Structure formats: C-alpha cells, structure tokens
Structure 1
C-alpha cells in the first residue's frame, strides 16, 4: 500500500511541476534532492517539453495586426502593432518593411513561438 501511495504522489508531483513556467521550476530544484533528481531526469524533461508544445499549439490567442499610416510633409511613416483583445501589446521592435508592394491587406500565414509569418499575395 505504501508503494502505491508513493507512486501516486510522484505522478501527482510530476503532473503539477510539469505545468509550471521554467523560472519557478528551476527554483523548486532546491527543495530537496529527490525533487532535483526528478526535475533533472530525462523523462521529466521530455514530459515537460511535450506539455509546453501542446500548450503552445492549442492556445488560441486572437491577434490583430494594425497598420498605422502617417502622412508627413516629406515622407510617409507607417508601422504595425499587434492588438490582443482590447489591449495593444506594448513591446514593439521597428523593422524594415519586408514587402515590395504596398497592399492594404496581408494574410497571416501562421505563427509559432512568437514569430508571425505574413503574406501580401492576396
């Protein structure tokens, strides 16, 4: 009976720990030698990575790419921002405009790990 409870507790611990972000998970390695061993084991790392991949692929975050166009006397300025729900994502990086044409519409081909693939071939 004791083996059963020990195994059940270990499985429960694996299930809980594998849902955490990386930073707290690294901190929890200091709890005990058994936790350090568990978190560092190849089977736990594999479980953790698989759970993160599934969570990334199944999270449905609706994003809207908004084009901002400003006509200045000597040039045209334009930039893009991502909007999620009612809030604009505040972090932005200015990039060179990658498209040769100046279509008003773009298609989001896909996204993965924070990268967005756009196409202007409507």
Structure 2
C-alpha cells in the first residue's frame, strides 16, 4: 500500500484517510463475518490481476519487485505467483526467472535486492 500511495497520481488524502481509519479500528474486534482488513491479505485478488504486468513489475520497476516478493512470501498467493514467475510471458521466449537472472548478472550484490530475493525463493 505504501508504494501505491507514494506513486499514486492525484489527491491521495481520501485514500490515506481511509487507510488511517482502518488502522484505528481495534483488531481484537475482528470476526470472520467482519474481519479487520489489516489482518487479512487481499493477495488472492492481487495475484489474479497482475499477470499481464508481472514482467514490468519484476524487471523494469525495481520498487514494485518488492510487491511481487510479498506475494511470493504469502502462503495464500505463493503458488500462483511462483507459477507466474516460472512461466514464459507473451513478450518473451524465456521464463521470467531466467530474465531476472540475466538482469542481476554483473550487478553489485546490493543492487536489485527484491529481484535477488525472488530468485532465492524460486530456488527453494
């Protein structure tokens, strides 16, 4: 959410106010019928929406690779995300995993940290 808010265009105040309102809700009052949104991850919806753009997220926009890493680390979205990263995109004849490997080759260890962490997860 932070990355989205940092890079969103337009008036961010209404969205920020809504997020702050959620943060102010007592998480102990969360129930299965009325869950606290901060205690649940909407990743199952997100991972279904990003396939057309996943190549961009992991290869062309360094900060958004952390979002993909978060999806890969979340048990609810890990398998779908893993499949996306191990598949070929319509833009390429090789897998995203191989493209990420090429991207980090020759770069300093401190560069492209999220991409390196994604590759570590895929190697497991």
Indicate the TM-score class for this superposition, using the shorter chain for normalisation: under 0.3
> Larger RCO: Structure 1 or Structure 2 (Cα < 8 Å, ≥ 6 residues apart)?
2
When Rg is computed on C-alpha atoms for both structures, the one with the higher figure is 1
Task: Point out the structure with the larger strand share.
Answer: 1
Q: Please, what TM-score do these two structures have when normalized by structure 1?
A: 0.25
